[in-house]
Structure 1
Amino acid sequence: MGVRICILLIFVSTLTFAQKVKWASQVISVSSEYKDPLLGREYRALHALGRPSKYPKMSATPSAWQSMTADNPDGEYLLVGFDTTMAVKQIAIFENFGAGSISSVEGLDQNNKIYPIRTFFPGYNLSSSQVTTIRLPTKTSFKLKGLKISFNSLRVKGYSQVDAIGISDSDDPIESSLKLTTDANAFLARENLGNVINSKFNEICPVVSPDGQKLYFTRWKHPDNLGANKNQDIWVSNWQPDRTWSKPTLYPAPLNNEENNAVCGISPNGKTLLLNNVYGKDGTMEKGVSFSFLLRTGEWSFPKALKIVNFKNKSEYSEYTLAPDGKVLLMTTESKDTYGGKDIYVSFLNADDTWSEPKNVGPVVNTGESESTPFIAPDGVTMYFSSSGHVGYGNNDIFLSRRLDDTWQNWSAPENLGPIVNTPQWDGYFSVSAKGDFAYFSSTENSMGAEDIFRIKIPEKAKPLTLVQMTGQVINQKTKEAMSARIVIKAKGNPSDTLSIDYDPYSGDYSFMWPAKKAFTIQVKKAGYFSKLENFDYSTSTNFLAINRNFFLQTVEKNKAYIFANVSFDQGKADLKPGFEAEADKVVALLAENAQYKLLLEGHTDNQGDWNDNLKLSIERVENVKNYLISKGVEANRIQTKGWGGSKPLANNLLEDTRKSNRRVEFTLIAIE
């Protein structure tokens, strides 16, 4: 009988260091991986990368690497790399199923030199699923770049799986970095919404409107549902002044019919609903997603299908969520390139009103098991979703991940939302309002019947970004009546971060959400009117802000002289003083939006000094303004200039306080003949 473990070494350190755990991030080479034409990418070697998916409840999973054959006499191997090279003291291999087949572990340095680290003899496993740990007395003499794990497949009958591979420069157990909190105070106690909302039937899919005033949800098999089979129908409840939810009402046709109906999302202004399925005029339903719009009559339009290019879904179910700008759609589908089960995909609105071919959001979020019920918070950055493929408390937990860039394919490592939200059962459908105070979700744990709707007060770590909600109207300054206009919101320092609204007063106030931490500009423009351009900065705000802001636009009249506001001059000087750009840029925008006009610039001075010198000075002032406008793209042939010296004062020249207003430049719009 051979020795079962090659060496057992114990090392005690008198110093405590912060543990640095790195997970395998690249498959360099693999002997084989399990493939099935009926599956996606389940069981592939890529599932050995990143954090484990099943710890501590380790079991067979498609979110782990599995070789193509169960018992290969030639053996198998897996060679993985890490995104950071470092000397290590500890290696942890998460053998999710069929543990006991590892024969050796070797290290790869930066020069691709192989170093033996540990040999394993038959019978080292204590169970069929375990964390197999190598602890070294001192750090490796080389910086480890990769690990090669070799397997003797005949040692353990049947398939073996590896879920994750971690390395550390510390003695602290690597698995301790994965411990889930058991502190019930991590979240305040969850609250069942009670028998006003919940019943002995299923209440699922809660979606709270961005302003927090409406709660949409789905009831299944409720006796008041439409149709003989009482399939899923949409219900809505209103938030009342006494801070309770009203008795819900059943939505009428066409949003509800005899098939399964559900609200997936709501636009920031509450006037567009995203609905599951495609509605046929004959009452039938197909896989897909639709929009319904609030009409001026107060009714909802017949749902209009979103045309998603090359949309395919092998699963019977799919969920959808719409980003607050209305231009990005997240969905769950199952296809041949999914990592396993349903994955989360992203699609973008095209110029022709179709939606781009869905792209997988990547393996940080998606696993070899199913992801479902994604919800993009009103900040457009924070995503809540449920999954059975990340470390959790039950068979399906709710997680949080934040978008890292504008590709929508780079996400932060998912964070489990904790033991009050997540239970040993199935948990999902997590939804928050723009205020970020409460979250709503579905659960069977301690429910009144089947699935119920619960809410919790969200702790800081799980909140979406603090938001500003701005609402209001665009108003004709002369008539005081609301009018249509285009509103463009841009992040300062990042002009590509833009939101555009075509405001229609017949649809009510404009409304949009914006992260408070990002300073922004708002430009309001309409042909025949002076544009408004204003700056906003709420970066110091830590709580949700609701701001009502009206914009007044002034009519542009031809052959009428206007003074450049904030364009002033020192006595005897023609230099433009700092701060003139904003007003000058409004004229640039005005000319861009009104190609039928050209510009007359007229310069003026006060009466101090020689008359001829003042005439020359007025021309120089006009030329400086003209040159700036040209530098911003205005064609030189659209600008005429004239200097008047001090011959046309606006105010008394006796005092400096009034005399300085005579040092000015005026502009007049003239029709192009």
Structure 2
Amino acid sequence: MILLKRILTFSLLIILSTAGFAQEVLWASKVLGYSSEYRPESFGHAFRARQILGEPNKLPVFGNSRCAWSPADADGRNEEWIKVGFSKTIQARQIAIAENFNPGAIVRVYAYDPSGKEFLIAETPAAQQTVTGRMLRVFPKQEMLINAVKLVLQPGKVSGFNQIDAVGISESTTPIEAKINLTKGMNLKTQKENMGDAINTKGQEVAPIISPDGKTLFFTRSNFEGNIGSPKSQDVWFSTLNDKNQWTKAANIGSPINNAGHNAVTSISADGKTIYLINVYRPDGSMYFGFSRSFKTKTGWSFPKESKIFNLMENATSMELTVSPFENTLIIAVQRADTEGSRDLYISFLQKDNTWSEPRNLGPVINSADDEGTPFLALDNKTLYFSSQGHSGYGEADLFLTRRLDDTWLNWSKPENLGPAINSPLWDAFINIPATGDYAYFSASDKSLGQEDIFRIRMSPEIKPEPVAVLSGNVFEGQTTKPVKSDIVADIKESNEAFAKASYDAETGEYRLVLPLKEIYKISALAEGYFPVSEDIDLSGDSTFRTIRKNLYLQPIKAGQQIRLNNTMFMQSSSEVVPSSFAELDRIVSTMNSYPAMEILLEGHTDNQGEVQKNVKLSADRVEQVKKYLLSKGIEGKRIQTKAWGPARPIASNATEQTRQRNRRVEFTILKI
């Protein structure tokens, strides 16, 4: 060991965030050795030596944290130590030590140069402090190259577990500070709004679930005399938005959703017709751990049906989850054997048998050694909001957002704190956002009427999900306008990939689809006894939220019925069928297979651009290409007749390209069934 000529005393400064200061800080990236680590649990990494790595997880707030290193014994008589390394060597002018809990036990700080030589750069007696935590900074007077630091503690001199959140070095003498990772450009002046006594009581109101159309708010209420079970149990309540844009007095959702046990809605489908619930419901009124779903009917909600998650966790007793807007992905907050610490967020996918795959950990970018919970996946299918006690924030638990970076669902952006307008020094969790993205609804302890209350806040653009479009409408029979119970499917036109599904039933209301922007979709309605109908919805040029009304009209399968196929089946002046139309032609194949005696007439039409004879030939070539495709799928040629009309039978003006496109079409008529 080389002792510097001038032994330094410690310098303590706690500084608030300074905007615009670009100071580079190297936080420890590897543990080179340690004397002991606290291991209170058989799984997870809470309080382990590895928790000292990276930027602070607790500071600038102080207090006990599972995301900090702690020696094995509180008040131990022996010295404890930990040595950390950095990703590169720098001319360090400052060392910062984030003592998040029971500070004052550090007695010596050593630094190491690239050759491994040890320098004692600070020494002071251990002493009990009057503060909960602190950022301890050492400023060596003698410049030196540093790539490792060792801390020595005397736990017996400072009562309680002595925890260290992080260690950093810098070439600057500007005091290193712990920063909260806020979303850039965030509006910090927005104020949250208590939802008032229509929603909140002296009891506990948590877990708001807003319907995608923003008109129904479900939530969980406990410690309230109006619950079906005991006042201490949880019941589902709901409120609706009236014509005056006011929330009505909340009502108990009643049976079968509520019973004597704990009941809570945890997610809702994009069309608002399926709610997901904690626990599995038995007919006798008892429940067990798991989750269920209930469907909207003309008389209310159906008895909840179990949704099974493979190998969830035999001894788990609680979880929270969010269902993706397309109902094929779950994000679950639960504690499992492979957890980072307390509860983590996991991903699970819907299987062909309608069960869910074994949960897979979302990884250390999101999950910490502390608690991550209350996930909400926004309707853009990319933006994930969650609460955490393991990322730097303002209080007991804060709300964060992260964005999905690819289709593996395992790569996410660094979590961003939603800021002090939402997060308080107390508990904040359970955020939920409708399709418009105008308001966020969440639970908080601060400024409540009783216990936890439900609040809302107007969303600033920086923390909104990506905008979507909401497509809704009815499905009718073409001639009679009689409502037709049907399934609605949205395919991405370019790839023919099934993207979203909904259902239409006049008894339960309109169909509704939530569609991310920047795509062209093919919307299809399917019902037994009717030929499927498809229409394109072009959102490729949209950049802001929009609502679209689209009624769909189905044609019954009967002799004499004429059906028009998608008018973008061909490129201009070409007879080649574009691949995005294959799915529609496959529906003709499916229909003809279902009706083995069916015979059809294919008729081709063009616009009036160019010579008439060439257009007649083009229309003939087009129907032959469609026929060729049907033959390739096993349909007999004797069942298909063709006719080419060229430009002779327009259904729209030929004045513009948009209207001419409607005239470039193929129709088929059912001759025999």
TM-score when normalising by structure 1: 0.78
Give the equivalent residue in structure 2 for 1:54: 58
Alignment CA distance shift 1:526-1:132 (3 Å): same
C-alpha separation between the residues in 2 aligned to 1:239 and 1:642? 56
Which residue of the partner structure matches residue 551 of structure 1?
552
Q: 53-62 vs 31-40, which deviates more?
A: 31-40
1:219: which partner in 2?
Answer: 221
Corresponding position of 1:65? 69
The AA in structure 1 aligned to 2:297 is L
Q: Distance in 2 between matches of 1:472 and 1:222?
A: 39
SS where residue 231 of structure 1 aligns?
Answer: coil
Q: Secondary structure at the match of 1:203?
A: strand
* 1:401 matched residue in structure 2: 402
Q: Which amino acid is the alignment partner of residue 150 of structure 2? A: S
Give, in angstroms, the shift of residue 549 of structure 1: 0.8
Find the residue that maps to 1:94 and give its secondary structure.
Answer: strand
Identify if the C-alpha distance between structure 1 residues 197 and 618 changes in structure 2 by more than 3 Å, giving closer, same or farther: closer
CA distance in structure 1 between the aligned counterparts of 2:580 and 2:241, rounded to whole angstroms? 42
1:590 counterpart residue number: 588
Give percent identity, aligned residues only.
Answer: 33
1:104 aligned residue: 110
Q: In structure 2, what is the Cα distance between the partners aligned to 1:605 and 1:208?
A: 48
SS in 1 for 2:589: helix
The root-mean-square deviation of aligned C-alpha atoms, in Å, is 4.9
Counterpart code for 1:197 = I
Write the deviation string for residues 258-304 of structure 1: whole angstroms up to 9, x where unpaired. 222222222222222222222232322322222121223x2221222
SS class of match (1:446) = coil
Query: SS of the residue aligned with 2:51?
Result: helix
**Which of 297, 304, 310 is residue 295 of structure 1 equivalent to?**
297
Q: Deviations over 1:117-176 (max 9, x none)?
A: 9643432889684435566899998xx9xx544344568768654423446676654426
Residues 128-139 of structure 1 correspond to what in structure 2 (within 5 A)?
Answer: 129-133=133-137
1:11 corresponds to which residue? none
Matched AA of 1:4: I
Superimposed CA distance per residue, residues 181-225 of structure 1 (whole angstroms, 9 cap, x where no aligned partner): 9x9971422222223322222222222222111122222222222
Residues 563 and 155 (structure 1), Cα distance of their counterparts in 2 relative to 1, 3 Å cut: closer
Partners of 2:353 and 2:206 lie apart in 1 by 34
Letter in structure 1 aligned against 2:8: I
Cα separation, 2, equivalents of 1:211 and 1:138? 64
CA 1:603–1:273 in 2, change beyond 3 Å: closer, same or farther?
closer
- Does residue 261 (structure 1) correspond to residue 259 (structure 2)? The answer is no
Aligned residue number for residue 251 of structure 1: 253
How many angstroms apart in 2 are the aligned matches of 1:378 and 1:666? Answer: 36
Matched, 1:190 2:192: yes
Q: For the residues of structure 1 that align with 2:100 and 2:28, how far apart are their CA atoms? A: 16
Which position in structure 2 is the counterpart of 1:199? 201
Secondary structure of the structure 2 residue equivalent to 1:590: helix
| CA spacing shift, 1:499–1:46, aligned 2, 3 Å | farther
- Change over 3 Å in CA distance of 1:87–1:138 after alignment to 2: farther
Q: Give the Cα separation in 1 of the matches to 2:205 and 2:543.
A: 36
Q: Distance in 2 between matches of 1:497 and 1:562?
A: 23
1:22-421 → structure 2 map (5 Å cutoff): 23=27, 33-66=37-70, 77-79=82-84, 82=87, 92-97=96-101, 100=106, 103-106=109-112, 119-123=120-124, 129-133=133-137, 147-152=147-152, 161-166=163-168, 172-175=174-177, 177-178=179-180, 186-296=188-298, 298-312=299-313, 316-421=317-422
When residues 76 and 377 of structure 1 are mapped into structure 2, their CA distance, relative to the original with a 3 A threshold, is same
- Native 8 Å contact 1:210 1:268 kept in 2: yes
1:538-565 deviation line (CA, Å, top 9, x unaligned): 65443x3222211223456679898888
Task: Assess, with a 3 A threshold, how the Cα gap between structure 1 residues 393 and 585 changes in structure 2: closer, same or farther.
Answer: closer
Deviates more, 1:626-635 or 1:382-391: 626-635
Residue matched to 2:14? none
1:397 partner amino acid: D
Structure 2 CA distance for partners of 1:106 and 1:132, relative to 1, 3 Å: farther
Q: Which moved more, 1:213-222 or 1:623-632?
A: 623-632
CA deviation vs aligned residue, 1:377-419 (integer Å, no higher than 9, x gap): 3333223322222222222222222233333333222222222
Do structure 1's residue 5 and structure 2's residue 5 form an aligned pair?
Answer: no
Identify if the C-alpha distance between structure 1 residues 523 and 165 changes in structure 2 by more than 3 Å, giving closer, same or farther: farther
Whole-angstrom CA distance in 2 between matches of 1:644 and 1:289 = 56
Residues 555, 105 of structure 1: alpha-carbon distance in 2 compared, 3 angstrom cutoff: farther
For structure 1, the residue ranges without an aligned partner over 5 or more in a row are 9-15, 108-112
Structural mapping, 1:521-670, within 5 Å: 521-525=522-526, 529=531, 531-537=533-539, 539-542=541-544, 544-555=545-556, 576=574, 586-587=584-585, 589-591=587-589, 594-595=592-593, 596=596, 622=620, 626=624, 634-635=632-633, 650=648
Q: Secondary structure, in 3 states, of the residue corresponding to 1:422?
A: coil
**Which segment drifts farther, 184-193 or 119-128?**
119-128
Deviates more, 1:234-243 or 1:637-646: 637-646
Q: What secondary structure is seen at the aligned counterpart in 1 of 2:100?
A: strand
Indicate whether 1:459 and 2:460 are aligned.
yes
The DSSP-based 3-state class of the residue aligned with 2:297 is coil
Distance 1:468 1:57, change over 3 A: same
The one-letter amino acid of 1:234's match is V
1:186 aligns to what SS in structure 2? coil
- Indicate if the aligned counterparts of 1:626 and 1:639 stay in contact, CA closer than 8 A: no
Aligned with 2:409: secondary structure?
coil
Unaligned stretches of 5+ residues in structure 2: 12-19
- In the alignment, which residue of structure 2 is the partner of 1:110? none
Other-structure match for 2:16: none
Cα 1:292–1:636, aligned 2, differ >3 Å: closer, same or farther?
Answer: closer
In the TM superposition, residue 313 of structure 1 has moved relative to its aligned partner by 6.7
Q: 32-41 vs 349-358, which deviates more?
A: 32-41
Cα shift readout 1:606-632 (whole Å, capped 9, x = no counterpart): 9xxx99xx79x9778755765688689
AA matched with 1:257: N
Instruction: Give the Cα–Cα distance (whole angstroms) in 2 for the partners of residues 567 and 324 of structure 1.
Output: 28
Distance 2:670 2:268 in 1: 46
For the residue of structure 2 that corresponds to 1:461, the secondary structure is: helix
Which amino acid letter does the alignment assign opposite residue 246 of structure 2? T
Q: Distance in 2 between matches of 1:358 and 1:250?
A: 33
**How far does the alpha carbon of each residue in 1:581-616 deviate from its partner, in whole angstroms, 9 at most, with x for none?**
76687435533664457887788999xxx99xx79x
**Any conservation in 2 of the 1:18–1:170 contact (CA below 8 Å)?**
no
8 Å Cα contact 1:598/1:671 also seen in 2: yes
What is aligned with 1:481?
Answer: 482
Give the direction of change, closer, same or farther, for the CA distance of 1:348–1:599 in structure 2 (3 Å limit). Answer: same
Aligned residues: 636
Q: Shift in Å at residue 651 of structure 1?
A: 6.7
The alpha carbon displacement at 1:352 in A equals 0.9
Q: Deviations over 1:477-523 (max 9, x none)?
A: 23323334443324466766822335455543211212335554434
> Structure 2 CA distance, aligned partners of 1:205 and 1:431?
8
Contact 2:469 2:517 in 1 (8 A): yes
Mean Cα displacement is larger for which, 351-360 or 517-526? 517-526
| Deviations, residues 17-62 of structure 1 (Å, cap 9, x unaligned) | 8445565566688776543444532123443344322102333421
Per-residue CA distance 1:337-378 (angstroms, 9 max, x = gap): 222222222222221111121222222222222223222233
Decide whether aligned partners of structure 1 residues 256 and 568 sit closer, same or farther in structure 2, where only a CA change above 3 A counts. closer
User: What secondary structure does 2:7 align onto?
Assistant: coil
Tell me the amino acid that sits aligned with residue 65 of structure 2.
Answer: T
Conservation of the 8 A alpha-carbon contact between 2:70 and 2:164: yes
Asked if the contact 1:367–1:390 (Cα under 8 Å) also holds between the matched residues in 2, the reply is: yes
The one-letter code of the counterpart of 2:67 is S
Kept in 2: contact 1:106–1:148 (CA 8 A): yes
Question: Is the contact between residue 558 and residue 668 of structure 1 (CA under 8 Å) also seen in structure 2?
Answer: no
Cα distance, 1:75 vs. partner? 6.9
